[in-house]
Structure 1
């Protein structure tokens, strides 16, 4: 068995020993963490199962090489967290050669009756659109909706996205409890929308984005209307060249600081000796030693496969997870001007379709789906006279309710026919399906196999109240020292900007646990740093159940005020 010592014998500042870290997975969380830790003085080795960087946030082309697709994310939101990540690393989008374009229209939402609602960051345009459905006082409700979303956005930045939650004690911070009610954690996005919009049409238009969390708008926490705030007040952005430019830039920054990336190198297990992670063993039998192991692979899958199975890992496997998808990637023979950059087709049975996905874990009889045409805002995505089209159809994650792998061809065919029928019928197209020159498909099975995603869930663990904050898996392994996590299922949660924030939290925690200096340009405040300090010893004999009871009591008392 081959062994590689991840330690380096030299360091730029002259120290005799440079600490080492092996990162499992080169997704956005892994690449951002690699760049941070390399700059902070670590010898960094990243091991990636696939032959590309970015994980779900990656790019690929069809066999012709002329049509390019984003594997997963296709719009850039909450730019503040991207700018923060690049600034912490001493660079920026501009310095890394990434050009961001703003989509002129956020979405065209096409309803079954062929009526269209257009959403944009142009307030003048939105005033006309909202009042068309809600009447002359409707715009006031829209502005109040945005005001609430703004409050959720700012409170989340301070109390969630820049704070680590190392135990239940972390939730007993007075500042969090005082502001918890303002985040509306016990009501849904849809219920918040009903407060500000009287028509069912606009309630649907302003809540479908819960799909970005892999959740139903009837279950997603009210705080997540911060997404609509960012879309309407900051706009939807897209990196020219594809979303995969972001993790590729992080890889480049990391490599400039000395990090090493090894692709086509799946990891079999994390090596644990005397309660400490000491490295990993690859599928080929090679041992890669390190002082720290940071796992960017799916957390639930990793706890069950990279570490010894425990009662905790079994409980994680039973936790609710986000949806999966059937995603179609179509190379078109011509342009399809009837489709904008982002077009949403909502089901007539809106709630029923979401219940089918998230309650019954099935493929809905009448799906709502999202169509992205990257070539509409990025000419490099397709030949000048053609389009590249991505269709994402949310479906239940892999479970007993979904068919076995042998039945997926039939399921995909039925789903494709439903999607094509709705596109042609609602947009008045007669030959759309005939214009598809080539098709690539990802199913829940594909997502699970390609990226080791638990149950094929494309966005990790769910985001109900008991799966966020201290209830979400921590950035530090619960029982193994020198072992950490970053990614969608770890705190603070899913989505590219949120995972970037998670990389900041995880790497700050690694540095502080080792008594290393956090780079000054990360601007980690003392109060933020305090949330990273270990509380295992401080808890002493305090019962977790007692802490949980105290938290629930404190929240209940506050909510009744």
Structure 2
């Protein structure tokens, strides 16, 4: 009997966890090593005196990609005890002039909202925007999230090329939204989602309108018990398949055989060596190239690539329920574009920041003790300036993070008070804070950039770092900074791509389907049939032709 292949996975983030389960299903003996004493990476939980906080993502988008990951492992979210709660409305978007609008999957509610601000023809333009964003979404899933881009030639795939311009990669989200929405209010309401990619809406490719499309078409969901419930379920599936998790086990470096140029395993910080046929790195990519692999020109070039933003995140335990706040609240700066310029051009916290406030206890009461609220605040800010080239972005050549944290806290509390009337300051009984420095320290994130490398045009598709090392054999990557990109559902899709590549390289069968939507067929009622040819127009056409043919003869007869 052939000895099973072995794999070592560095990092127990979303990509590492999903890949471990997939490889184990394919017959590998898999070991996952993780520096922290918990799984999930940024998708982990913080618990304080009965309050539960999602450290990173607090809303679940693109639910079909999550379902697909579980189906590929011969189970389902429901079978694993994961209950998804629908958040309705999606958001309450608060403006400086005192107005608040709701974004919702309810078409009737959205019609009323759009027409309130842009009149009757505004809703028609909204539907046109949805149609464009629908194309962005469906084309991206089929031609980007299910395909690998291992060379520039893949940009010219016959299946992908027709969609290149339709994805509007050379225009910004703001420019595309401005085509359909005539007011500044709605342009802002339909572009702030670029923050999920760690980018400014004035720079993010128009393709990424797909994010707000999926919110409006498929909804925003929250796993009861916290986002980590999804990843914990994948951990348990993997363990049932034989995956071994070793927590509190940092890695010193990846071992590379000098003669064969092949990755042979990893050396742990303790000095222990773990040998494997395949090494899959789920650590931050820039960190991995600079700290875990032999120094190379590639490591230097990755360090110079544009990074996403970071965040100052507050986790507040409240001593009461804050009724003015809903599940997902977005507070947009009056100086909208300038606030993004402060983040992405000056690497600072904006003078007046836009920020996101999540109250998980509003949709899932288990997130807080009875009669209290759990509040998470995410304030996007610049990443750490770590070298002279970066510091040139900041005219002050310094980042005073203590002052910026204080500024962010005061701005949040004052903005929420002015726009909603809620007094947060006097009801915060406990506070935990994440800053760019703590993001870097806890998760080895280069520059503390919470979403990895930027998603500008020359950082995606064939230009994005590849899922397999160019020179070291048997070394693969999965995570936010590799293809296809950042965000938990996108990383799960990337896990399927990378593990599929591993199996292809080894000549092994992929024990899952290619994926995609399957239509249900129960009876003849569900068989696709062409619509009947309308006879009325054909009869009219026939009569018109007859009339055109006979008309000259009729006229000749009349004249005679």
Measure, in 2, the Cα distance between the counterparts of 1:440 and 1:186: 40
Distance apart, 1:463 and its partner CA: 0.5
Match of 2:308?
Answer: 322
1:472 counterpart = 2:456: no
- The one of 201, 204, 209 equivalent to 1:225 is 209
In the TM superposition, 1:175-254 aligns within 5 A as 175-254=159-238
1:17 counterpart = 2:3: yes
Distance apart, 1:172 and its partner CA: 2.1
Measure, in 2, the Cα distance between the counterparts of 1:454 and 1:500: 21
CA deviations over 1:175-205 (Å, ceiling 9, x no partner): 2122101100100111010011000000000
Match of 1:412?
Answer: 405
1:106 counterpart = 2:90: yes
Q: Give 3-state SS (helix, strand or coil) of 1:517's partner.
A: coil
CA deviations over 1:83-136 (Å, ceiling 9, x no partner): 111111111110100000101110011111111111110000010111110111
Q: Give 3-state SS (helix, strand or coil) of 1:422's partner.
A: helix
Match of 1:375?
Answer: 361
- Conserved in 1, the CA contact under 8 Å of 2:348 and 2:399? no
What is the RMSD of the two structures over their aligned residues, measured on CA atoms? Answer: 1.5
1:53 counterpart = 2:45: no
Measure, in 2, the Cα distance between the counterparts of 1:340 and 1:141: 28
CA deviations over 1:469-491 (Å, ceiling 9, x no partner): 01000110111000000000000
Q: Give 3-state SS (helix, strand or coil) of 1:174's partner.
A: coil
Match of 1:448?
Answer: 440
Distance apart, 1:288 and its partner CA: 0.6
1:167 counterpart = 2:151: yes
Measure, in 2, the Cα distance between the counterparts of 1:380 and 1:148: 39
Distance apart, 1:16 and its partner CA: 2.9
Distance apart, 1:524 and its partner CA: 9.5
Measure, in 2, the Cα distance between the counterparts of 1:415 and 1:155: 38
Q: Give 3-state SS (helix, strand or coil) of 2:454's partner.
A: coil
Q: Give 3-state SS (helix, strand or coil) of 1:415's partner.
A: helix
Q: Which stretches in structure 2 are left out of the alignment for 5+ residues?
A: 386-390, 518-560
Q: Which stretches in structure 1 are left out of the alignment for 5+ residues?
A: 1-14, 526-561
Measure, in 2, the Cα distance between the counterparts of 1:392 and 1:456: 14
- The one of 401, 406, 418 equivalent to 1:425 is 418
Match of 1:528?
Answer: none
Measure, in 2, the Cα distance between the counterparts of 1:334 and 1:405: 39
Distance 1:61 1:239, change over 3 A: same
Q: Give 3-state SS (helix, strand or coil) of 2:42's partner.
A: coil
Higher mean C-alpha displacement, 434-443 vs 401-410: 401-410
Q: Give 3-state SS (helix, strand or coil) of 2:263's partner.
A: strand
Q: TM-score, normalised by structure 2?
A: 0.89
- Conserved in 2, the CA contact under 8 Å of 1:171 and 1:470? yes
- Conserved in 2, the CA contact under 8 Å of 1:88 and 1:522? no
- Conserved in 1, the CA contact under 8 Å of 2:42 and 2:55? yes
Distance apart, 1:404 and its partner CA: 9.7
- The one of 248, 252, 272 equivalent to 2:256 is 272
Measure, in 2, the Cα distance between the counterparts of 1:404 and 1:49: 32
- Conserved in 1, the CA contact under 8 Å of 2:68 and 2:515? no
Equivalences, count:
508
Q: TM-score, normalised by structure 1?
A: 0.89
Measure, in 1, the Cα distance between the counterparts of 2:512 and 2:420: 54
Distance 1:375 1:146, change over 3 A: same
In the TM superposition, 1:253-292 aligns within 5 A as 253-273=237-257, 274=259, 275-292=261-278
- Conserved in 2, the CA contact under 8 Å of 1:347 and 1:368? yes
CA deviations over 1:16-49 (Å, ceiling 9, x no partner): 3110000000000000000000010000000001
Measure, in 2, the Cα distance between the counterparts of 1:168 and 1:19: 31
Q: Larger Cα Rg: Structure 1 or Structure 2?
A: 2
CA deviations over 1:149-183 (Å, ceiling 9, x no partner): 11111101111000001111222212212210110
